Amino acid sequence: MLFPTFDFLVFFVPVLLATWALGHRSKARILLLLVASYFFYMASPKTEPPPLPWYFAGLLVFSTVLDYACGLALQQFASALDDPDARVVASARRRRNAILLASLVGNLGLLGYFKYTDFFVDVFTDIVHAAGVPFVAPHLEIILPIGVSFYTFQSLSYTIDVWRRRLTPERSFLRFALFVTFFPQLVAGPIVRANELLPQLYRRPQLSPGAMQEGLFRIFKGLVKKVVLGDWIASQFTDAVFATPEAYTSAEILLALYAFTVQLYADFSGYSDIAIGAARLLGYEIPENFDRPYQSKTLGEFWRRWHMTLSTWLRDYLFFPLGGSRGSKARTYFNLWLTMFLVGMWHYSPGTSWNFVIYANLHGLAMLYGRWNRERSRSGSALRRGVIIVVAALAVGLACGGFGLQVLQLPLPAAGFCVGFGAVMFLVVTLLPLRGGPALTALHILITYHFTVLSRVFFRASDFATSKAMIAGLLRFDGDLVRPGLLTEWLWIALAFGTVYHLTPKAWVDVHAYRLFRRLPGPVLGLSFALLGLGLMKLMAGAPRTFIYFNF
Amino acid sequence: MASTTSTEIHEEGGLLDADEQFEKIRLGSAEDDRGPYPPKTFRQIGSGIATMVVAIALTYLVPALDWARPWVPESDPMLFWNLLGRELMGEGAATEAGAEMLAQAEQLAAIVTAEDETATPLVDEPVVEPPPKGSGLPPYEPHPDDAETVPRSLELPSPTVLDSFYARLARTDARYAGAITRVSQWGDSVVANDNVSSAVRFALQRRFGDAGHGFHLVAKPNASYRHRGVRFSGGEDWSRCYIINKCKANDGLYGLGGTTVWSAGGAESRWRTEDALAFGQKVARIELWYRATPKGGNLRVKIDDDEPQLVSTMAEVAADAWHTIEVPDGPHDIQLRAAGGGQVRLYGVVLERDVPGVVWDGMEQLGAFASRMLYFDEEHLRTQVEHRDPGLLVFMFGGNDLLIAASQMDQYQQDFAAVLRRFRSGANPPACLVMAPVDHGQRDGQRVISRPNVPKVVEAQRSAALAEGCAFFDTVAAMGGEGSAARWRRSNPALLSGDLAHLTFAGQKVIGQMLYLALMEGYVEYRGRVE
């Protein structure tokens, strides 16, 4: 079910009222929310082919049962770990590792099969073709179950925490099942960890007038972001450019990338706002997922502010267990690259071929560079440092050019531009001071923002050929500007608003606008929501697009 | 004195700069249950929900507010469609009907893909001298294709709107000397690589004779431009202006194919007759389409190994012009070069033969909204169409038009009608046919649904076509109606590509075959009526 639909309103209001009524009856409330969550998961608008509810729901049940059972099984051997007999401890450890492995194989196997099988087939085929071997691979066209990337990570966090003895296992199956399927965040996050939600399910939902105001405000904000800045910009402009980049000028392609940057943030953070708001109205708190990411001064900061629940999940469950930054430099760089590579690859959506491999590596390598640049020695011989930086800049430039020529198959002048652009950007970023005033901060923000904007080509393009066409169009430098009439005045305003809004202080909205909002009398709030719904309905002619992150 | 704050760029830390922190959580066993919440908890939100419900209810209770209804029972799907609504709306049967249509399309795909286009070249039937005017046609001889099931018939504003086209086709059918039936088709990316047009072209030529490939551009406006039945190369050095870019000082002179090219010298293009397919193996007449100007340069045309000939594009007054070169009917290699002496500006070439048969021009306009065709200068387009003298104009736009907001459909319909009028502004306009766009899908989670705008665009095109006296082919209905994008995507072989907007090669052939069958149904009806 999609949030900005009449279906959701008809579903949510009765669930809300019933949950409030059952606030003091724990079991009934949990059962109600569990049933509602499965209904939410399986109900959908008119679709063709008809959805496969039992197949999708079955996988959800499988993941739930697997981790519930693993949690209990791990607990059985937990006390043996404290046994004075080393053999008992070793045996218990082996068994616990095997149980953890079962959970990892089950969840990651599910994810790997449904999400990455076609990717590996494509990659294998491309490699074999590159070797000159004719090979036709079967394409399985596997349908990705909605939300599988989210709920598998969610339930894995539980088993890993129990295995690490940072969490005691949940004994109630219903409560555990609700933790896995809690509908506000089930299909597109935020990824809620067991230690964040399960303890709340033991308490009476935290309902108060303040919580209600907070929840309503988040939903209101999320709807505006999602529909106006997310869907509308897409339907009016970006979708068309990414569908046929050959038909657009370089300036229009660049504008489409800026527009997509606004759209993606609005789409996903709008969804997260609605999810957080809906959970709040039900009396639960789920974690924030965004913190004005385009205000980041470095890429590391960007990923701390963008899809925070995924990036911190991989940090806590992969980067730290691998040793984090505690090992040798080489090991630290490897850990860093692998984590960022998997953050990028998590976003892979079927059919996009090499796009996300490139996207993940771009961000992984940029993170490596960021750490190198921060930690490199700034003392000693200036000549030696200068030579190293210039040689490195040339190497980066040549790598960019080679990538453009060989992989993106750009014409020679465009590949030549890549050489210059790569080298110059490397020099600029490397030579910028790490400490300075507001102007320097603004410059760092600008550079980081543009790195995310340009790398979005690989994020949005539906396949690798489209990415290549977009970049070729961008580097055509045809001299034509945005043609009159292509964008309406309202669209320009929405784009400008979306970009500028993001750079304003958070307090303007989260404190000042919220203060005004919470003072509104109930009937005015109700009327505001009705008018907002009407406006959004007319704007999108009753057809909300799917949240982009549904695809992951 | 003002002071500036100096900050550390990395002071807030990146994602992987923090140290690991965790706390141990012990899940409790006792419930914290303190009875119902105090009523004031829900006072504000409760009155808000009540107001919203009343506001929504008013849209159903007050007829004047019906435009504000969030859900319209007659036209919107039932709420929670897949779990509750499908059976309540009796759409379970519709789903089964859709599956049947898919089976039919798959069967058609199996037939058309099995047809061997690389088979022996078509044999030209003997040419018949036409009888004196008014003596009538020979009786219609039924064709095996007449027995085929027609997936979707043409919709006609009156039974005779295509008669002028069918009359030409009947003369071609009778093998009368000089009886060439030309059809010119314009469309967006769905026909960009000539597959739909080539499918109809081959089907008609197999039945009525191959009178040549037809119109071809001098340079590719984009990488997708690719014609079947002619081997084209070169063209990279021409400067070009593609209609949707509204370039060349917006003079509106884009030529029949929507792309004009120019060069002061050096640019080359080459066309060779087909040697692998059964079609397009011969040419007998090459017609150059260009703009004659006072400063027009020369074209050098080289046919096979013959001596090149120079064609001057100079004229006292600027005007569209044509130059025809006759060659013996057979395979040929045609090379064209801008040979200096001024700038030459070209629109395209036509490759034809002098035998009775069908020629189907494919004029693909990748990425074009239908309204972009209004960029054509009216007089120029009229001249171009009149010179080409097609018996039928076919339009298949809409893929890009789906991006037009649903609220602007009235304007879209007017624009579409204006496009039809512009192409038919001559004294004796050809018959015309509008093909609706194919069904387009979009992903809804991991499922595929038809884009909501598809039926609106189809309806606008239908209304415009029928009002302008054109036939209409409902491509979406032929595919199986709403939801066919998903069905065609999962069919075997796949008929819709992964972008859910463009047909696969097999899908294009199926659509071509469907159109061919619909046209032939009308043709048989015409022959029965006039005899």
Token readout for B349 is 């070439």
* Whether residue A213 has pLDDT greater than 80: yes
Residue A344 to residues A238, A436, A465, A531, Cα–Cα distance (Å): 22, 31, 19, 39
**Cβ–Cβ < 8 Å for A207, A23:** yes
What pLDDT does B396 receive? 95
Q: In which region does residue B184 sit, left (phi positive, over 0), alpha (psi from -120 to 50) or beta (all else)?
A: beta
Tell me the pLDDT tens digit for each residue of A257-268: 999 998 889 988
Higher pLDDT, A274 or A487: A274
Average pLDDT over all residues of chain A? 86
What pLDDT does B1 receive? 39
Q: What is the mean pLDDT of residues B167-188?
A: 93
Most confident of A242-251, A368-377, B394-403: B394-403
Tell me the pLDDT tens digit for each residue of B453-491: 899 999 999 999 999 999 999 999 999 888 888 888 877
Tell me the pLDDT tens digit for each residue of B276-288: 788 888 999 999 9
Q: What is the mean pLDDT of residues B203-212?
A: 92
Tell me the pLDDT tens digit for each residue of B41-71: 899 999 999 999 999 999 999 989 888 888 8
Q: What is the mean pLDDT of residues A522-540?
A: 87
Q: What is the mean pLDDT of residues A413-417?
A: 91
Residue B338: which pLDDT band, with cuts at 50, 70 and 90?
A: very high
What pLDDT does B255 receive? 95
Compute the distance between CA of residue B192 and CA of residue B289 in angstroms, rounded to an integer.
Answer: 21
Q: pLDDT exceeding 70 applies to what percent of chain A?
A: 93
Q: Which of A236-240, B28-32, B106-110 has the lowest mean pLDDT?
A: B28-32
| Coil, strand or helix at B233 | strand
Q: Catalytic site residues of A? A: 347
C-alpha distance from A161 to closest chain B C-alpha (Å): 9
Q: Which one-letter amino acid corresponds to residue B229?
A: G
**DSSP structural state of residue B21:** -
* Whether residue B238 has pLDDT greater than 70: yes
* Whether residue A351 has pLDDT greater than 80: no
What pLDDT does A151 receive? 92
Higher pLDDT, A51 or B178: B178
Tell me the pLDDT tens digit for each residue of A270-309: 999 999 999 999 999 999 999 989 989 888 899 989 999 9
Average pLDDT over all residues of chain B? 86
B window 90-149, beta carbon within 8 A of A: 95, 98
> Which candidate in B5, B15, B454 is best for mutational testing of the A interface (most A CBs within 10 A)?
B15
* Whether residue A92 has pLDDT greater than 60: yes
Q: Do A50 and B95 touch (CB under 8 A)?
A: yes
Q: Do B485 and A143 touch (CB under 8 A)?
A: no
Residues of B in contact with A534 (CB under 8 A): 68, 70
H runs (alpha helix) in B367-427: 378-388, 409-423
What pLDDT does B112 receive? 72
Element (DSSP H or E) covering residue A384:
helix A382-402
Taking each helix axis as running N to C, give the angle between helix A522-539 and helix B43-61, from 0 to 180 degrees, rounded to the nearest 10: 50
> Which candidate in A244, A302, A412, A532 is best for mutational testing of the B interface (most B CBs within 10 A)?
A244
**CA-closest candidate to residue A170, choices A67, A101, A78:** A67
Alpha carbon of residue A411 to chain centroid: 33
Across the interface, which of A6, A45, A236 has its CB nearest the CB of B444? Answer: A45
**CA-closest candidate to residue A245, choices A522, A38, A478:** A478
Element (DSSP H or E) covering residue B473:
strand B471-473
> Which candidate in B6, B40, B45 is best for mutational testing of the A interface (most A CBs within 10 A)?
B45
C-alpha distance from A244 to closest chain B C-alpha (Å): 6
The model's pTM: 0.67
**CA-closest candidate to residue B131, choices B179, B165, B166:** B179
B window 206-225, beta carbon within 8 A of A: 222-224
What pLDDT does A547 receive? 47
